[in-house]
A and B are shown apart, each in its own frame.
Chain A
Amino acid sequence: DAGVTQSPTHLIKTRGQQVTLRCSPKSGHDTVSWYQQALGQGPQFIFQYYEEEERQRGNFPDRFSGHQFPNYSSELNVNALLLGDSALYLCASSLLAGTDTQYFGPGTRLTVL
């Protein structure tokens, strides 16, 4: 039973560039949430996708956008990268009709130079 997978594992970009991160949820899960974790901080909620729609959004600018595909996988896009976007980006999957448990992927470490 495959867990949550994310790609790539590491990424280096420069300011102003755009990046796309990918996530495949745990088998049987239909909901994907994205979190940003800066060094020394807890993860912060970016947004959640269910049925290919953004269901809820945290306090992040419109530069952060996402998508969910019919197979429940998801992408996180960040435009016009800033130095402050350097962080670990975590994807978590869950079953909307199930328990509260969210399972996290290993994350993508983004460095913006």
Chain B
Amino acid sequence: RKEVEQDPGPFNVPEGATVAFNCTYSNSASQSFFWYRQDCRKEPKLLMSVYSSGNEDGRFTAQLNRASQYISLLIRDSKLSDSATYLCVVRGPSGSARQLTFGSGTQLTVLP
């Protein structure tokens, strides 16, 4: 079993749609959780951290359920510029030197 598993893509949605990505992680001692965005042939960039209380940044909402070891990302009113690969990322427990474990990514294409 992979340490971080994401929805298989690709997701093709029309502009203005709401799209949700899901992710599960296997290590219950994981400390920190993130969503990164990666454009084609570019480096990953931090989209947002994910907290147990849930957090929102504009059109983006992230949720964490530690009991289920489940992370989600919701994008509302999607824009053409949201087209990218979204990577679910987990940092291991204390002492793991901030090693990040990435999912394989979910590709999103927003269509005009």
Contacts and interface: CB of A to CB of B under 8 A. Distances in A.
Contacts of A31: 98
A94 interface: yes
Given A106-B43, A107-B43, A33 B99 contact: yes
Contacts, number: 60
A35 B101 CA distance: 10
Interface of B is mostly: strand
B102 A44 contact: yes
Interface stretch (B12-20, B44-52, B54-62, B76-84): B44-52
A104 interface: yes
A109 B100 CA distance: 20
Nearest to B95: A56
Contact of A56 (B44, B46, B96): B96
Interface residues of A, number: 28
Contact of A90 (B44, B99, B105): B44
A108 to B, nearest CB: 11
Contact of A45 (B45, B46, B100, B103): B100
Q: Categorize the interface residue count of chain B.
A: 20 to 34
A28 interface: no
A50 to B, nearest CB: 7
Contacts of A42: 4, 87, 89, 102-105
Given A42-B87, A42-B103, A48 B43 contact: no
Contacts of B22: none
B16 to A, nearest CB: 28
Interface string A23-43: 000000001010100001111
A65 interface: no
A43 B104 contact: no
A62 interface: no
B1 interface: no
B67 interface: no
Interface in B21-55: 31-32, 34, 41-46, 49
A38 B87 CA distance: 14
Q: Nearest 4 CB-CB pairs, A to B?
A: A42-B102, A56-B97, A104-B43, A100-B32
